[in-house]
Amino acid sequence: MQTLTTTSLRIRKSQLWILDQQALPQRAEWHLCRTVDDLVGHIHALRVRGAPLIGLSASLLLAQLAEEGMPVAELHQALATLRASRPTAVNLMNNLDRMKIALEQRFHIPAMVQEAEGLVGEDRELCDRIATHGAELVTADSRILTHCNTGGLATAGVGTALGVIHRAHQQGKVAQVWVDETRPLLQGGRLTAWELGELNIPYQLICDSMAASLMAKKQVDAIWVGADRIAANGDVANKIGTYSLAVLAKYHGIPFYVAAPHTTHDPHCPNGEAIPIEQRAAKEVTGVSGSFGDVQWAPVDAEVYNPAFDVTPADLVSGWVLDSGVVTPEQVRDGFFRATR
């Protein structure tokens, strides 16, 4: 494979390196990823995260293993193992479907390398088009609230929702970004805050439970989030806490936008109820882990419910901003996501 660099992935001498997003923002640590078990471990620990990035890292690893001479039967097993590593994010499944087609070619090694590298380039282009379409919806002096992390750390390009914010800021339209800390893993507080700082975009970090009071005080002009899966009826799975924001936005009359590439759309999933929701470890709620070590604040025997995602019904979304353009609620009611891929 050729040399390749994104914010969170690197290919050097046909070796895949992954930026540890659990160590950020205190440390920038890169891990060499040699095996499927390595990558599955990084995905489960959220050292690599973000629906587009997970799909890209899996594709690049498969291409690397093919170049190293892994037999075809073992490559098929590796593909199946990676597919099962993150059930909610459909980008992973879409990318692996394309890698499987390449694997089944007569000359599968160059086909897989070309497909993996092509997917990275495509993601960059998709992000750029999302940013262009989304920035048109941002009004002057906007105070935008965002949830989780949807920037360059989670994609090969400028990001999805955060890419929109970045493009709108370049156009002089963003006055302030409210950054939800995003429980339970604080991906807003650790990652989005770091990215906005690197981009010199003004922001303030808030606890998730503060969003309602800001809306009541008319301090939020729009909400922008990403997505891990968009069902055929327009329902959206995203990081836990997104649904709460959508309900609050509806009550306060605030636009609620979802930014995602078309690869996040799953036409085979009829609605949000059919989206598999990953359950995470109890320790992510009973305490916190980071560069500082482990802290436990709940009773050691506390029972925990910890879904990684929730589902926002389509009727709470003001617009779906895809690489192909802005999809309106009227289009969704007319079957847009049932008719397209």
Would you say 255 and 249 are in contact if contact means Cβ atoms under 8 Å apart? yes
Q: Is 228 a catalytic residue?
A: yes
> What is the bridge-based pairing of β-strands 287-290 and 222-225?
unpaired
Q: 20, 228, 235, 266: which is the annotated catalytic residue?
A: 228
Q: Tokens 């989206």 sit at which residue?
A: 275
Site of tokens 């989005």:
192
The single-letter DSSP state of residue 318 is S
Provide the pairing of β-strand 15-19 with 30-33.
antiparallel
Tell me the pairing of strands 256-259 and 222-225. parallel
Angle at 283 between CA 282 and CA 289, to 5 degrees: 150
Spatial distance between the Cα atoms of 167 and 104, rounded to a whole number of angstroms: 40
Amino acid type, 327: V
**Among the listed residues 40, 46, 128, the one whose alpha carbon sits nearest the alpha carbon of residue 83:** 40
Q: Residue 172 has what DSSP assignment?
A: T
**DSSP character for 180?**
E
- At 336 the three-state DSSP class reads helix
Sheet holding 142-146, edge to edge: 203-206, 174-180, 142-146, 222-225, 256-259, 319-322, 325-327
Q: From CA 228, how far away is CA 94, in angstroms rounded?
A: 12
Catalytic residues: 228
